[in-house]
Amino acid sequence: MAKCDTGGVSLRNRLYWLGAGLAAAALLIAGVDWYRSQPFTTTHLLERLPADNALVLSVDFRALRRAGILQMLDGSQAGQDPEYQAFVRKTNFNYQRDLDRALAAFAPTGKFLLLEGRFDWPRLQAYVAEQGGRCERDLCRMQGTQPERQISFFPLRSGLMALAVSPDRSAVLRLATPAPGPAAVPSASPVWLSVPVAMLRSGDDLPVGTRMFAHSLSEAESVTLAFAPEGRRMAAKLDVLCRTEIDAADAALELTRVTGLLRQMIARENQNPNPADLSGVLAAGSFTSGGKRVYGYWPIEPSFVENLFGAQRP
């Protein structure tokens, strides 16, 4: 009798622990599914991008659609490019319709992007194979237009693509985990970019008309330029962190001086600032300082955006 009781207790214990184990496994699976269903915040995504000496760009395509900005670019040269149109047909992916958010880091080692939207992964993989590339499980690699442009991508989730263009065929794997070092600080604007101070100091990769302005900020700690819709137009807003309050006041004065000089140069040519070109936009700038920060503001008319992207008027 005692033996049977002991065996019964032992069996009940085994059944209890088996049930507890199955419940724990179910909770773990549910937890993993819940975690995977949670959206990545902008801060979490920025932590994956290599930000060291990189130009970081963020574009909220959903906000631009609501503001009518993307519709304004329907006739842009990029959209009319035959290669892009072929890509759209074969992959069923059109950025104006399917892309919701993009974060990009333009670093010395390559271009790294995190793209949120709607992707037809089987058709994308078929496109890679058609172009002579190869997909191994979820990781796809293909040759770009130049030997040093090796394209690699994989899905972080079904609606989130990690992509890299670099001489390294597996560069995209850097986006699988957070990158070392500090990340760029996000802005609430639908389009913003964090500019590395090293780029401002050299000025080599900047448009000619902006180099005088960049030199005024070459000693800054950080520089962020944000773009946001304002009625029928957009505005560019500069936010600069300087080392001291005196540096910030000096930078604001220098930016104001450079803007005045640009206006005088335009006037000497017997012309008025044209809001449809870069010189006209820059000439409309205004600057203030507060504490260690410098704030700048430029109004941007729709004609400038259309010219910038090569949009064709109907």
Is residue 98 over pLDDT 80?
yes
Q: pLDDT class for 13, splitting at 50, 70, 90? A: low
pLDDT value, residue 69? 75
| Beta-bridge partners for 134 | 141
Whether 27 contacts 96, CB under 8 Å: no
Is residue 26 over pLDDT 60?
no
Q: pLDDT class for 67, splitting at 50, 70, 90? A: confident
Is residue 51 over pLDDT 70?
yes
Alpha-helix residue ranges (DSSP H) falling in 67-168:
69-72, 77-80, 82-91, 95-98, 121-130
Token pair 């990029």 in the structure block, residue: 78
Lowest mean pLDDT among 18-27, 112-121, 285-294: 18-27
pLDDT value, residue 57? 93
Is residue 81 over pLDDT 50?
yes
Whether 304 contacts 284, CB under 8 Å: no
pTM of this structure: 0.78
Lowest mean pLDDT among 93-107, 118-132, 299-313: 299-313
Is residue 232 over pLDDT 90?
no
DSSP, res 220: -
Reported as a single tens digit per residue, the pLDDT across 135-150 is 998 999 999 888 888 9
Is residue 33 over pLDDT 50?
no
The predicted model gives 200-212 an average pLDDT of 73
Q: Which residue segments constitute the domains of the chain, with CATH numbers given?
A: 39-185 (3.40.1000), 187-314 (no CATH)
In whole angstroms, how far apart are CA 303 and each of 69, 267, 300? 12, 21, 8
